[in-house]
Each structure stands twice: as C-alpha cells, then as structure tokens.
Structure 1
C-alpha cells in the first residue's frame, strides 16, 4: 500500500464521521481525502472532490498557492488558521475559515496537511454589518453637542463621544472603554477636577457613585473645580447599563445667580412682572404685594398690606402655604405647586416659591413669595400627555383616535362642541357634543361649521375668539346663527393639502382668555388629526401595495410562474389538506435535458428563452387547481390535485410530447426534450420534501436510462417504472 493510501486510510478512520468539514492534502496540494461534510460544503460528490487539487476549490487560485506556501513554511507542529473565499461546484462563493494541521510521519517528516473547514459566510456578513452599525453610532454620537457616555451592566465604559472627554479633560487619560465609572471619577478627583463642596474625596465619590447607580433620569447638577456647571441626566438601558448626557449649563447658572441678586431690587421690579409677588415679615404679615397678587385675591394692594395673605386662601392651600412659609422662615428656599379656585373666580395652577429674605448679617428677616401661573403649562402637559396616549394606543383605530382627540379638545378648551369639517366633501365627519342641557340644542352645528370652514379656508390660519364670537366678520352675512361667545379652530392639512378644519364652539364666555399655549394646542390637535387621517390613507394604500408585492414575491421573474418559495408554501397547504381530508395528489419533477449544453452552445439568452417557452407550453396544459412552479435553474415541479400516479403518468407523457414537438427556440435546430419523475403522496408523508425526493429519484432514473421519458417511483423495494 502506498504512503498516500495509508495516509488516506488513517485520516478516513479518524474523520469519516466528524461533524465538521475535513480535507486531507498531499504535500503537492492534491486532495487525498474529504469527509461527507466537506462534500456537502462544496456541493460536490466526494469521489469528484478527491480527484481535485486545493487550487480548484479557490475562487482565486493564487490564494491557494499562498496557502500552500504558508503550510510548507510553518513549524512542524504549528497550526495555521486563516479565512479564504472558496467556491462551490455551482461557482457560488463562500467564505471559509481554514485551520490546518500538519500530518507527521513516523520519521517526523511532513506527509501532508489536514484542513478543517468552517463556513463563515454569514458570520463575515454579520461582522461587516456590526462594523457599519458601530461606525454609524460613532458618527451619531459625535454629531450631538452634549457629552454622552454609555456604561455596561458592570458599570464599565462602553463608548463615549469626544465632547464627553473634552468636558472632563483632566480625566481624559482614564476615559477608556473597559474602565469603570468609579475609577474614572477617582482619577478626576486625584487631578482636582471636581468641586467637592468641602466633603472628603471618599465621601464625595461614594455619593456620586450612588447617584450614578440610581440612574432614574432625574437631573443632577455638578460643579467642576474650574467653575463650570454641568447638568447630568442618567438612565438605565434595557440591557442593564447606564446611558448619560452631560450638558454645560454654566451660562444658565450664571444667569440664575444674577437673577438672585436682582431679587434684592424686588420692590422696583415687582409691578413690571406678571407673577404674583408678596413680601411678608416673620409673622406672615404682608409688607409688599404687587398688582397681580391683589387681583388673584380679588382685592387691592392696600387692603392686603398689614394682613396675612394666606388667610384669604381655601383651607387646604392655606395649610400648604403655612408649612412652606415656616420652612422659608428657617432659611430654606422651597417650592410648591397648588391648584385651586382663587377668590377672583378663576381656577389656576400656581407654582409658589418661598425665598428667605436676609439682612447684611445673613439672618432671615422675612419671606418673599413668587407665584407663577402655570395653568397653561399644566393644561398643555396634561393635554399633550393624553394626546400622546391616544395617538400611540394600539387598541384604538384611526377613527376612534380622531373622535377621542376631538373629545380631548372639548375638555382642554372647556367648550361643549367640537367638529371636524371635510372641505372636500363639504360635510361634518366628526361632531362631539358635551351634554350640557338646552344650551347645545340651540346650536346650529352644521351651519356654524360650514361658516367657520369657509373662513378658515380663506385665511389659512387658526383663529381663537373668547368673547362675542358672533360679532366676528366671519358671521357678517349669516342669518339665524345663535349667539356664539367662543370659537377656536385651525385648518387640517393632510399631505400638504387642506383637508378641512377642526372647530370648537361655546355659547358662554370663557373665564380665561385664549393664550398662546391654547393656540399652539389647537395647531397640534389639528396636526395630529391630519397625521391620523394621513396614516389611515397611507394604511389603505399600503394594504393595496402589499397585495401587489405578495404577487410579485411569489412569481419567478423569468417564467412568470410560481417561484420556489411560493411553490413550497402551496405544497405545504396541500400536504395539510391531505392530512385533513385524504385528498390525494401527485408530483411531477421535470428537468430540461442537456440544458447546460444549450447554454454552452447557444448562450444564456437562448437558455432563458427555452425556459420561458417551456413554462408557456406547460402552464396552459394544466388545470386551474394544479400548481406549477420553477424550483431550480432548469427544474420545474407540478402538483396534480386529486390525481393518482397512473393518471399523473398520462399527464406527464402529454406534457413531455408537447415539449418535444413545440418547444423550438431559434437558432436551435430542434426542440429540447425533458425528463420527468413522478411520485404520489402517501400516508407516511409529513413534509413535502419526502414526496419531492421520490419524484427526484424517479427523475434521476429517467435521465440515467436515456432521458426524454417519464418514470414513476413505485416504492423503495421496487424498481421505478419507466415509460
């Protein structure tokens, strides 16, 4: 026995059943052995593979030479691993990881090389995709103005942008992926980067790490040693890490400090502000009250001086004010939000800020209270939150969302009627009326909406009238219109075109005038309704496009019959029907004879024409219930519904004869022929592939016995029947 044969036998004994692909090479690069997995990798028979050389497997033969040189030059016992682009028998390229190991003889001479092959095509593509995503993420991070950093679940730095490093310039040498948050902060402490506000480094560090670990998205302000102020917001990621944004708010903090100094000139500035301002002594007796505060209490400034203002508030708010006043009197600056009906009859949301007033020695001598009317802001927040809840709901359809948005508008503006007018069809498509007794019954909703719609189409902007709306010019020519006190609305734009408008009406005057916030809200409501209408239109168009795309996705581009994916999907359906009802069917596996020679002799254009005409001949010859598809290059398959194998043979012969006579394509001198394999479903078939394998075996028999014939697969223990 030769040395190569002994080597082959030895390798085969060890790696014949190895799950990975294994190839044994002689020192000259010829393939001595390939296991079954290697043959499957290259989609070639083993006996053919072992007759080739290593260079035959490479898309670029020069790389094979380079690999062989590397194998010859390495140390005797050293393994070599590299990636190469190889090719299958059908010329498709695959990326393969090649790990080599020398085969050493008894005399320590190199007899050959053992190659372990691993298909890493998908892995390489995924790595390229991940690399691209990482580059995109890096570009995105560098495009933001704030400092950004992401730490993993073990609190080690994953990534940050350059702004983050510039903000913490002293810590930059430690800001390296893999370093922990605590180590980076400690490095900055050692460099004197932070203002620890008199605390020890360890105490300050422990407090900062604890706050960092909390990561509840709350805002934290940080003072650096150079005087800069940062605003930090950190939150947990879904994977358990922490993402944080650092914003330089030095200018903001400086402005706040300047504002604090301006409070000392409160009496000069108070009446020029729109906020409520009250100064009281330590007993709560008013020393100064501006006009806004007096108006809220429905009295004059003079009547409040010398009295406790909080005594004029409802009891729940009076208790809150008393508590906050005591804290401010003790030197603490506090804030509190209240929502109450004030003595002037207006319900307000107010942010109260209690500021201790100090003398030159720093002793508290009184309390200054700022009251900011945040009703519009709170209403806006509530309305926008509810608007987001409605528009983001998966439980509501488009029409239901639009209706609820109109209801929300009625609630926000405290108006009883809300309508949506379709200007294109001149109709009211949504009308919501708050139950309000006889008042709304007197409203001519259709007439009012039509009048307003005509006006809004001409003006192209929103309108908000909170007093005597009936006297507005838009109603100048209206007859019989009821007395409308309040109206607010805006145009609805859908895909750049005026769809119509949304309008809210009321017969009573509002207790608050429409603010700029109200105008923003009506615009946003109109925009959201426009978006919902557009989404509904897009959804309808998408459904139509999806139907068309499904048709395209299931059709073979060349032959216009079912492609492989669609054919197998329909085949699975017939399998399920057979299991359910017992309705039989037969499968014809059809292959164009000598198709490769047609391509080689006449070109691929003629080959394509043959396949197209082949399909054009067979398709009309089948019933509507039969399934015909192209499942490979020149391979076609037919499912004959409710047809036994004997009748399937008759159909196969008829199709074969039609192809032999009619499938002529220029410049061919005679039509091509085809071979057919036939199989019928059996009770043991669970997957379509088992039927297809039998039909394919019968097809192989047709080709093996001379081609241009039909063969029935009649069982594993019997020879196929050939016609």
Structure 2
C-alpha cells in the first residue's frame, strides 16, 4: 500500500509535465518515469515493452529499462514472442492490469517461470497496459524479488498512471516524427532526396546573413545536365529519373559535407559553397565536372554517361539572392554556348 498516495501522484503529475527532448531513444525520454515507478513502488526494475505491430502483434520489444545505464541500449533489444507467451499476450490484449502477486503461480505470468522468473529471482509482477487510440500498444512491467506481494489498489492505480504518462509521451514522439516527415516533404525533392527550391531560397537567405555578418566569402554553382532531353526521348522517363538520382548521388559523394546541393527543377541543380571564395569554387566545380564525366550510370536500358555544364559565382551578400542566381544562370548559358561540359565563372 502506498503512503501519502496523493503526494506521490502529485509528484508524478509534475514529473510528466516537464518538457523533454523526444528526438532520442525511448530509453532517454521514458527513463525518468520508470525510475519514479521503481522508487515509489519499491520494486527491482521497471521496463517498457511495445508491440511490434499494433494491428497484428507478434512480439513485445523491450525499449526502456531501469537496469540500463543512461542512454546505452543492448546491442539487440530483448523481445517476447506471442508463440512462446500466449497467456501473457492475451492478458495484455484484454487491457486489464496484471497484478500477479505470485508471478510463478499466476496463470498470466507463469509462462516466465523457467526462462526468466527463477533465474532472476523474480517473485511478483505488476504490469499495466499502455494504450494507443484505445488499443493496447505495450506494457509497463514492474518486477520485484522481495517475495510474494499483494498489490494494493493504490499501487495498481499508480502503475496505471505511469503507463498513461508513457502513452502520452509516445504520442508526442510520434507527432514529432510525423512533423519531421512533413518537413521533409515540404523541403526535399522526392526523386533525388536533395533539398528543393523552397529550401534553397530559405537557406540562402540565412547563409547570406551569416556570411555578411562575419565577412566570409560565399560562393555557389549551378549545374545543368547536358542533353538530358535526349535521355528521356531515347530511353524513357523512368531511365531519366534513374539518371537524375544517380547524378545526385555522384555529386553529393564528391562535394564537401558542408556544401548544400539542391534541385532547382528539371535537370538544373544549385550548390551553395559556404566560406568559399570564387577561385576555390571553380576548383571544386572542375573536380565535380570531371567526376560526372568519368562516371558510368547503369540502367535497364544499358550504361549511360553524362556531362554537365557549370556556372560559378561569388554570392553578393549585399544584394538579394536572386541577383546572384541570375548571374550564375547566365554563366551556365555561356557554358552551353561554349560547347557544354565546362565550367564558366559569372561575370
């Protein structure tokens, strides 16, 4: 029985209201709740197990555990299968809390006796269900090795509050992941995986402001795949898409980590080169031009080689980005007029 039930629930409410970084592991943003449960219920360990599939669960996967140190996770997360523990899975799917006073004798948990209870000296268990949209999503498992124990209704209620707090945090993490996906959709080109024009314009403004503030050189290049229309006409648009994806991979693997490559549209691409004077940008562009020229792209239609025309410019941080964009676009036009597959600096 919990002493001062009102006090411990108030402490849990305050704990669950704190802001957390949900970008990490389940362990990192659930462990404070589990530690609170372990301390308040005076048990050996508390852990969270989540179903692998909400519609047709076949496994429970251990995603957080008070036995684990910090954010360090096992190389392979422990898992329970429905095939080996059908009674336990059925009990969880019922949605009812499992108050196994004597875990070895309780039919809902006795399946664990030989493989887990006896080796780890676990004698009592209190498992409460984590719900998602009213459907069991997992379980908070509280285990004790201090003998058989009769779980009081206040202890069961507190453990259920722990499970509800976990449920809310899991929902916040899911919403955060959804937001990341929506952001990717808004700012990434779905074909190549590169950032898109919208991201380019937003990022360019930030980079211009940063480089102007510190008076650092800032350059950019535009790339246009030569005769790309012929690839689509001769081999089809599916092959053309494959060439665009391969082209993007070649460029990203050749450029520096700090460089930002975006798909402007069609077969046109922009690369922002932070902290780079225009003479260095010309060297980078020439190295990339050679890498593209020497690469062979394998497609269902056969091996394809491509070239690209480049325009390079130093970004004028005193003017809107569109001014530099027009300059580098004109340089690409000059590269095309000069016979393609070359690098031309903006005038």
TM range (shorter): 0.5 to 0.7
Residue of structure 1 equivalent to 2:223: 590
Q: Separation in 1 of the partners of 2:18 and 2:259?
A: 41
- Where 2:334 maps in the other structure, the secondary structure is helix
Q: Separation in 2 of the partners of 1:651 and 1:614?
A: 16
- Where 1:703 maps in the other structure, the secondary structure is helix
Deviations 1:409-431 (A, max 9, x none): xxxxxxxx953536557989xxx
Q: Aligned runs of 1:678-693 on 2, under 5 Å?
A: 678-685=312-319, 687-693=320-326
Q: Separation in 2 of the partners of 1:418 and 1:711?
A: 70
Q: Aligned runs of 1:191-590 on 2, under 5 Å?
A: 390=13, 394=17, 419=41, 421=43, 424=46, 455=101, 457=103, 492-494=128-130, 495-497=137-139, 499-500=141-142, 524-536=157-169, 556-590=189-223
Is 1:709 the counterpart of 2:331 in the alignment?
no
How many pairs does the alignment contain?
Answer: 255
Residue of structure 2 equivalent to 1:618: 251
Deviations 1:451-499 (A, max 9, x none): xx862656699xxxxxxxxxxxxxxxxxxxxxxxxxxx97533444351
Gap change, CA 1:423 and 1:711, over 3 Å in 2:
closer
- Where 2:245 maps in the other structure, the secondary structure is helix
Give the C-alpha shift of residue 530 in structure 1: 1.5
More RCO (CA 8 Å, sep 6+):
2
* 2:221–2:328 contact (8 Å) kept in structure 1: yes
Residue of structure 1 equivalent to 2:120: none
* 1:617–1:663 contact (8 Å) kept in structure 2: no
Q: Separation in 2 of the partners of 1:420 and 1:549?
A: 43
Q: Separation in 1 of the partners of 2:323 and 2:32?
A: 51
Deviations 1:395-440 (A, max 9, x none): 577889969x99xxxxxxxxxx953536557989xxxxxxxxxxxx
Q: Separation in 1 of the partners of 2:252 and 2:19?
A: 46
Residue of structure 2 equivalent to 1:198: none
Q: Separation in 2 of the partners of 1:490 and 1:618?
A: 55
Q: Separation in 2 of the partners of 1:570 and 1:684?
A: 16
Unaligned runs of 5+ in 1: 1-382, 407-416, 429-452, 462-488, 503-517, 715-723
Instruction: Say which of 271, 274, 287 aligns to 1:638.
Output: 271
* 2:255–2:288 contact (8 Å) kept in structure 1: no
Residue of structure 2 equivalent to 1:673: 307
Q: Separation in 2 of the partners of 1:627 and 1:492?
A: 48
Gap change, CA 1:500 and 1:619, over 3 Å in 2:
closer
TM-score, with length taken from structure 2: 0.54
Q: Separation in 2 of the partners of 1:391 and 1:708?
A: 64
Gap change, CA 1:565 and 1:533, over 3 Å in 2:
same
Q: Aligned runs of 1:20-99 on 2, under 5 Å?
A: none
Q: Separation in 2 of the partners of 1:422 and 1:531?
A: 21
Give the C-alpha shift of residue 591 in structure 1: 1.0
Q: Separation in 2 of the partners of 1:641 and 1:533?
A: 43
Deviations 1:485-516 (A, max 9, x none): xxxx97533444351289xxxxxxxxxxxxxx
Gap change, CA 1:459 and 1:588, over 3 Å in 2:
same
- Where 1:636 maps in the other structure, the secondary structure is strand
Give the C-alpha shift of residue 597 in structure 1: 2.9
Gap change, CA 1:546 and 1:459, over 3 Å in 2:
farther
Gap change, CA 1:423 and 1:647, over 3 Å in 2:
closer
Root-mean-square deviation (Å): 5.0
Give the C-alpha shift of residue 604 in structure 1: 0.7
Gap change, CA 1:572 and 1:454, over 3 Å in 2:
same
Instruction: Answer with 1 or 2: which has the greater Rg.
Output: 1
Gap change, CA 1:421 and 1:524, over 3 Å in 2:
same
Gap change, CA 1:423 and 1:492, over 3 Å in 2:
farther
Gap change, CA 1:571 and 1:420, over 3 Å in 2:
farther
- Where 1:500 maps in the other structure, the secondary structure is strand
Residue of structure 1 equivalent to 2:86: none
Q: Separation in 1 of the partners of 2:166 and 2:303?
A: 62
* 1:593–1:672 contact (8 Å) kept in structure 2: yes
Q: Separation in 1 of the partners of 2:66 and 2:304?
A: 70
Q: Separation in 1 of the partners of 2:223 and 2:140?
A: 59
Residue of structure 2 equivalent to 1:607: 240
* 1:390–1:401 contact (8 Å) kept in structure 2: no
Q: Separation in 2 of the partners of 1:616 and 1:673?
A: 15
- Where 2:305 maps in the other structure, the secondary structure is coil
Unaligned runs of 5+ in 2: 1-5, 21-28, 48-64, 68-98, 109-124, 131-136, 145-151
Deviations 1:572-627 (A, max 9, x none): 44323202211112111111123223212221122123223322333333222222
Is 1:699 the counterpart of 2:332 in the alignment?
yes
